[in-house]
């Protein structure tokens, strides 16, 4: 797409000119001397007159090197943009069809402007003797950004030929540096600058001769502005491998052109060239500049102040090569970083640079015969440092040599080796304390993130290696069990789940069983408890769960393990006296909070937290109370280990296996922030590896599950708003955005959430938004009429239906409307007692109630409602995991008929934005799920307006209530 650009009168363009730029073309940078004379070229090999001369007179041709075998150099039509125009054009929004090269140069411009804004610019004199500004000096982080940008450079962006070459393309790093300098050289000049400073030098757009200030600039900014860069190249003269004294070292000064990085010569060659061919354009002086020898001497003088061994060499002019001792070379190594800061690079021979790295090695004794499995393995793991030199471990004697080294060069394995300060620092220190789960996690994952966020490799040896292999692959440390006393046959995946839990318990650890809803997490826990009781652990089992599933746990134990005594801590007479061998105690989270002190006094074999979403906030009263109840093993059961934030995963695993993921602060810094904010793939994969042994997640769709479930059919029902809804929706958007615009902080957050709630309520039914208790329902909401049609058809076909809404108020409106048309309906919500819930579930399962309307949060946990074959989601929640849990009330083990899921969406409204988001987020649940609604408060006013406004183009001219569209 071509975009008209009006140059803002930047100095390189005296008069504003309208320029039409085609950003879909290839874009290259053409450096010139001085930098502000450079151009940005838009070109295409098959332009077909696209860049023909027009009003701005910038059309031309450009020599580019096109890829191929061999590469070919050719002239292509091009539009040449002066730097002032280029900067103005790249600062504006690029069209959607902009080429990768155009987008890359726009990113490079942002980098240049950031450097300029931070004051990283200095005056310099170009090779041709003109005044210029350039970007320098760069900080370490700037060099990293430069390298990253250069690595991402599209081929078209540096398709011009390299200096002095015909078919080699320009180096991206060199070309990017030229571009940064060009931006600096044009951006800092203004029309008023010459008058303000009293000179045209370094102020006017026109080039000004500046050779007379070169020496002064060299003294003031030499390391940043010099046309050459001094290097000190270390050369090694090898001796005998058994005698370190026979090896000698020499340091050779060399010169590299900053304009052409491929031009590198020894400083001695520059001296010879100056004496034989001074002033020749083809000579080194001509290519490096007439002041090159002066610049080399200035650079050597700066280097000598850092590395005194150079002092003696300055008496005779530019030195050729220096013979140095080991101590002098060691001093050079120590001074390398400081020399780099003054613009002098140190180059080391490969013979001195060994690949030296450290890792931790975990070892553990094998379990003794007859000992109960591997209890507390994490506490008996031993860790030691191991150093690898070129891939081969150092011996203990070599480690001692390295640790005792007084300098940075050591004689080892028949040669001199440059040591790594970080390696030496580590082996001089003790290995980090890795007790219990932290050590076991490091051994199993093969990596450890230390307190500084650095990743340390962890190897395993002996039995620790066996454990890593078996546990890491979920092969298990035992055969799949056949529990005695279990009145059912376990499916293969359930037996594997039981073996996994038994392995964890035997290790004195815990884990998260995160199977999909309906795959039988309860029966797996029952089987695990039976196995542990047979093994001789007669301690009681504690199950903490929501009120809605307490009765289900009691029924499942009675059904599958009728000989196991079960005690429900309900009512005023609840107590923990006289617990039997292997008894199971069931209690709700509310009772657990009130009885935490008493529960903590019991020696439990295992504590199980069902529907463990309840403990995902580690600071809540529930989480703090549960942490006070000790047990050798803890298990969390949930179908959604991560709903909104990775911190939820940390909270679960920090309860089941304390210390596994470190502190909350270190987890946030090392994993949550890099993954959630930046999509860091490496940290995401590392976290998955670390947690894999401690979290077992199987889906109904996994081939290994082999669960015989009927099909689940899902479709969206798109419903237009009624006239009343349209009027209310638009009025609320208009009034709310007026109040929200420009607001900040908690006030803005509150107003945004109030707006979202109101819009969702209007999309449901005006009566919900107006809180009408007995107002008319029929004909006012397209979604409600669509729900009546769907539910009525299902009931007429003798099917039972679940209808979910996130609002209890809407649940009651739905029941009123269904009963108005003769459909018997009940409502299940969180305010009901456990007895009332169980009674409603039993009646629905028995066929006494054809329709059950359920509040989303109450229906997302633990209910078995397989009598339903139709599920209606009346409104949508931001997180797909919540909806999936609700659907799984019907689509689970025990279901024998297909389940049809209807998702109602009000057309053109916030409903559609939620639906779009759910589809984007559904695939992310296995990795990272962005948070519920909290992100919306961070949207700009414009983004918020786009999110909540009616999309008129998607609406019919007149919305008729009840009209639906399926997709």
- pLDDT tens, position by position, 236-263: 877 666 667 767 888 999 988 776 777 8
Does 470 score more than 50 pLDDT? yes
Query: Does the residue 502 lie in any domain?
Result: yes
Domain edge (last residue) among 696, 721, 737: 696
The residue from 664, 696, 728 where one domain ends is 696
Residues 142 and 172 in one domain: yes
Residue 639 has pLDDT above 60, yes or no: yes
Inter-CA distances, 507 with 268, 373, 503, 600, Å: 69, 7, 6, 21
Q: Inform me whether the pLDDT recorded for 817 exceeds 90.
A: yes
The mean pLDDT of 678-707, rounded to a whole number, is 79
606-609/541-545 β-pairing: parallel
Q: Which residues contact 265 (CB under 8 A, 6 or more apart)?
A: 254, 255, 284
Place of tokens 């990085």: 261
Q: What is the pLDDT of residue 48?
A: 46
* pLDDT tens digits, 793-807: 999 989 999 999 999
pLDDT at residue 7, rounded to an integer = 43
Query: Is residue 685 domain-shared with residue 717, that is, in the same domain?
Result: no
Together in a domain, 681 and 716 = no
Q: Residue 59: which pLDDT band, with cuts at 50, 70 and 90?
A: low
**pLDDT tens per residue across span 360-411:** 888 877 654 333 333 345 556 788 888 888 888 888 888 888 877 777 788 8
Residue 485 domain-assigned (yes or no): no
Residue 895 falls within a domain, yes or no? yes
Residue found under tokens 């339903």: 868
Note the pLDDT of residue 49. 45
716 and 688 in one domain? no
Q: What is the pTM of this model?
A: 0.53
* 563 pLDDT above the threshold of 80: yes
* Sheet arrangement for strand 825-828: 825-828, 851-855, 800-805, 868-873, 899-906, 712-719, 965-966
Residues linked to residue 714 through DSSP beta bridges, in sequence order: 901
3-state helix, strand, coil in the chain (%, to 5): 40, 20, 40
Q: Decide if pLDDT at 930 tops 50.
A: no
Interval 311-356: pLDDT, tens: 766 666 677 788 888 888 888 888 888 888 777 888 988 777 777 7
Q: What is the arithmetic mean of pLDDT over 89-118?
A: 89
Residue 707 lies in a domain: no
* Average pLDDT score over residue span 470-475: 58
CA angle, 580 then 583 then 586, to 5°: 130
- How far apart are the C-alpha atoms of 793 and 851, rounded to whole Å? 12
864-916 pLDDT tens trace: 888 999 999 999 876 677 778 788 888 887 788 899 999 998 888 888 877 67
Residue-level pLDDT at 278? 43
Domain assignment present for residue 498? The answer is yes
159 plus 85 within the same structural domain = yes
The answer on pLDDT for 686 being more than 90 is: no
pLDDT value for 222: 57
Domain check: are 733 and 868 in the same one?
A: yes
* Pair 811, 958 in one domain: yes
Instruction: Count CB atoms within 10 A of the CB of residue 499.
Output: 22
Report the length, in residues, of the chain: 967
Question: Is 360 found in the same domain as 338?
Answer: no
Could you tell me if residue 217 is inside a domain? no
In 692-827, alpha helices (H)? 723-740, 745-764, 766-769, 782-796, 808-820
Determine the Cα–Cα distance for residues 721 and 183; give it in Å rounded to an integer. 53
- Out of 17-21, 297-301, 653-657, which region has the weakest mean confidence (pLDDT)? 17-21
pLDDT of 440 > 50? The answer is yes
pLDDT at 476: 53
836: CB partners within 8 A, 6+ apart: none
Number of independent structural domains in the chain: 5
Q: What is the pLDDT of residue 435?
A: 65
Residues 6+ apart with CB under 8 A from 925: 640, 642, 880, 881
Residue 912 has which token pair? 């559609």
pLDDT, residue 479, reads 66
Q: Is residue 374 part of a domain?
A: no
CA distance to 661, 924, 940, 941, per residue, from 921 (Å):
25, 5, 21, 24
Same domain, 792 and 885: yes
Do residue 321 and residue 396 come from a single domain? no
Q: What is the DSSP letter of 388?
A: E
Average pLDDT over residues 259-269: 78
For 626, the 3-state DSSP assignment is helix
Residue 480: inside a domain, yes or no? Answer: no
Spatial separation of the C-alpha atoms in residues 517 and 768, rounded to whole Å: 31
Task: Quickly count: other Cβ atoms within 10 Å of residue 832's Cβ.
Answer: 17
**DSSP letters spanning 210-276:** -GGGHHHHHHHHHHHH-SEEEEEEEEEE---TT-GGG-EEEEEEEEEESS-TT-EEEHHHHHHHHHH
Question: 73 - beta bridge partners?
Answer: 65
Higher pLDDT, 833 or 531: 531
Per-residue pLDDT, 140: 65
Domain end, chosen from 665, 696, 727, is at: 696
Domain residues for the domain of 395 are 356-365+379-472
The whole-angstrom separation of Cα 280 and Cα 292 is: 14
Together in a domain, 784 and 853: yes
Average pLDDT over the chain, rounded to an integer = 80
Using CA atoms, how far apart are residues 334 and 242, in angstroms rounded to an integer? 26
Helix (H) or strand (E) holding 801: strand 800-805
Do 102 and 163 fall into the same domain?
yes
What does the pLDDT average to over 7-28? 62
Band (pLDDT 50/70/90 cuts) for residue 280 is very low
CATH code of 793's domain = 3.40.50.300
Alpha helices in 69-151 (DSSP H): 83-91, 100-117, 140-151
* Chain center to CA of 677: 5
Q: Provide the pLDDT confidence category of residue 89 given band limits of 50, 70 and 90.
A: confident
pLDDT at residue 762, rounded to an integer? 94
At 538, the pLDDT band (50, 70, 90 cuts) reads: confident
Say what percent of the chain tops pLDDT 70.
Answer: 80
* Per-residue pLDDT reduced to its tens digit, 151-204: 889 888 988 877 766 667 888 888 998 999 999 988 878 776 777 676 778 778
What is the per-residue pLDDT across 949-965, written as a single tens digit (0 to 9) for each?
Answer: 776 544 433 333 334 44
Question: How many percent of the chain have pLDDT more than 90?
Answer: 23
CATH number of the domain that 656 lies in?
3.40.50.10810
Query: Does pLDDT of 852 surpass 60?
Result: yes
636 contacts 871 by C-beta, under 8 angstroms = no
Q: Report which of residues 274 and 782 the model is more confident about.
A: 782
Sign of CA dihedral 938, 939, 940, 945: negative
């Amino acid at each position: 797409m071509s975009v008209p650009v009006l140059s803002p009168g930047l100095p390189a363009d005296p008069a504003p000119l309208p320029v039409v730029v085609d950003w879909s073309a290839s874009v290259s940078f053409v450096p010139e001397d001085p930098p502000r004379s450079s151009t940005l070229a838009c070109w295409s090999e098959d332009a077909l007159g696209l860049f023909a001369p027009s009003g701005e007179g910038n059309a031309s041709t450009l020599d580019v090197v096109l890829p191929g075998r061999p590469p070919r150099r050719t002239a292509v039509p091009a539009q040449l943009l002066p730097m002032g125009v280029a900067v103005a054009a790249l600062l504006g929004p690029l069209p959607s069809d902009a080429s990768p090269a155009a987008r890359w140069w726009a990113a490079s411009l942002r980098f240049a402007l950031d450097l300029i804004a931070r004051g990283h610019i200095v005056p310099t004199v170009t090779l041709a003797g003109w005044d210029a500004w350039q970007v320098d000096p760069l900080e370490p982080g700037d060099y990293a950004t430069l390298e990253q940008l250069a690595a991402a450079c599209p081929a078209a962006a540096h398709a011009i030929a390299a200096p002095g070459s015909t078919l080699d393309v320009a180096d991206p790093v060199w070309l990017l540096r030229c571009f940064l300098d060009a931006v600096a050289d044009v951006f800092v000049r203004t029309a008023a600058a010459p008058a303000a400073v009293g000179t045209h030098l370094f102020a006017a757009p026109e080039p000004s001769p500046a050779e007379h200030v070169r020496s002064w600039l060299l003294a003031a900014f030499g390391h940043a502005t010099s046309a050459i860069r001094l290097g000190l190249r270390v050369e090694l003269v090898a001796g005998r491998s058994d005698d370190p004294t026979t090896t000698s070292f020499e340091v050779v000064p060399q010169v590299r052109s900053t304009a052409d990085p491929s031009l590198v010569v020894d400083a001695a060659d520059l001296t010879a060239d100056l004496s034989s061919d001074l002033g020749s354009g083809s000579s080194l002086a001509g290519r490096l500049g007439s002041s090159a020898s002066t610049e080399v001497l200035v650079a050597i003088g700066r280097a000598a102040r850092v590395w005194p061994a150079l002092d003696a060499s300055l008496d005779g002019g530019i030195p050729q090569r220096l013979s140095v001792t080991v101590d002098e070379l060691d001093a050079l190594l120590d001074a390398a970083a400081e020399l780099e800061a003054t613009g002098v690079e140190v180059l080391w021979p490969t013979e001195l640079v060994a690949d030296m790295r450290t890792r931790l090695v975990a070892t553990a004794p094998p379990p003794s015969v007859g000992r109960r499995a591997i209890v507390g393995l994490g506490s008996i793991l031993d860790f030691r440092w191991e150093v690898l030199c070129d891939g081969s471990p150092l011996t203990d004697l070599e480690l001692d040599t390295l640790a005792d080294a007084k300098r940075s060069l050591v004689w080892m394995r028949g040669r001199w080796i440059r040591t790594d300060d970080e390696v030496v620092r580590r082996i001089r220190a003790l290995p980090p304390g890795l007790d219990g789960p932290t050590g076991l996690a490091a051994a199993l994952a093969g990596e450890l993130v230390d307190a500084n966020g650095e990743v340390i490799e962890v190897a395993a040896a002996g039995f620790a290696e066996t454990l890593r292999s078996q546990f890491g692959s979920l092969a298990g440390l035992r055969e799949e069990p056949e529990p005695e006393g279990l009145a059912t046959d376990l499916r293969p995946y359930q037996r594997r789940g039981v073996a996994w839990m038994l392995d964890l318990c035997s290790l004195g650890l815990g884990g998260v069983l995160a199977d999909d809803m309906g795959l039988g997490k309860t029966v797996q826990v029952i089987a695990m408890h039976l196995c542990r009781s047979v093994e001789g652990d007669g301690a009681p089992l504690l199950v903490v769960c929501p009120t809605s599933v307490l009765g289900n746990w009691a029924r499942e134990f009675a059904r599958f393990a009728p000989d196991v005594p079960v005690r429900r801590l309900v009512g005023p007479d609840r107590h923990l006296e006289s617990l039997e061998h292997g008894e199971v105690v069931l209690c709700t989270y509310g009772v657990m909070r009130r009885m935490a002190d008493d529960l903590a006094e019991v020696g439990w074999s295992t504590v199980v937290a069902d529907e463990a979403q309840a403990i995902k906030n580690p600071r809540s009263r529930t989480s703090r109370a549960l942490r006070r109840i000790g047990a050798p093993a803890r298990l969390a059961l949930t179908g959604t280990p991560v709903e909104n934030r990775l911190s939820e995963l940390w909270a679960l695993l920090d309860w089941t296996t304390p210390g596994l993921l470190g502190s909350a602060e270190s987890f946030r810094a090392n994993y949550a922030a890099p993954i959630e904010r930046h999509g860091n793939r490496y940290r995401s994969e590392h976290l998955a590896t670390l947690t894999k042994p401690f979290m077992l997640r199987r889906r109904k769709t996994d081939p290994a599950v082999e669960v015989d479930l009927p099909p689940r059919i899902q479709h969206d029902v798109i419903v237009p708003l009624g006239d009343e809804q349209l009027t209310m929706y638009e009025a609320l958007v208009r009034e709310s955005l007026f109040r929200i615009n420009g607001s900040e902080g908690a006030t803005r957050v509150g107003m945004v959430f109030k707006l979202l709630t109101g819009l969702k309520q209007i999309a449901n039914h005006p009566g919900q938004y107006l809180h009408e208790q007995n107002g008319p329902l029929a004909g006012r909401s397209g979604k409600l009429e669509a729900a009546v049609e769907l539910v009525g058809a299902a009931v007429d076909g003798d099917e039972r239906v679940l209808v979910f809404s996130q609002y209890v108020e809407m649940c009651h409106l739905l029941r009123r409307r269904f009963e108005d048309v003769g459909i018997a309906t009940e409502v299940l919500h969180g305010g009901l007692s456990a007895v009332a819930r169980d009674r409603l579930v039993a009646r629905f399962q028995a066929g006494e109630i054809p329709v059950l309307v359920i509040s989303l949060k109450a229906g997302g946990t633990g209910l078995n409602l397989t009598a339903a074959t139709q599920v209606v989601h009346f409104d949508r929640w931001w997180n797909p995991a919540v909806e999936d849990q609700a659907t799984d009330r019907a689509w689970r083990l025990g279901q024998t008929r297909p389940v049809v899921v209807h998702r109602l969406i009000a057309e053109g409204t916030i409903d559609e934005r939620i639906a779009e988001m759910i589809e984007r987020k559904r695939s992310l649940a296995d990795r990272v799920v962005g948070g519920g609604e909290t992100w919306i408060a961070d949207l700009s006013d414009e983004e918020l307006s786009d999110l909540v406004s009616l999309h008129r183009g998607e609406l019919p001219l007149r919305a008729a209530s009840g009209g639906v569209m399926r997709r």
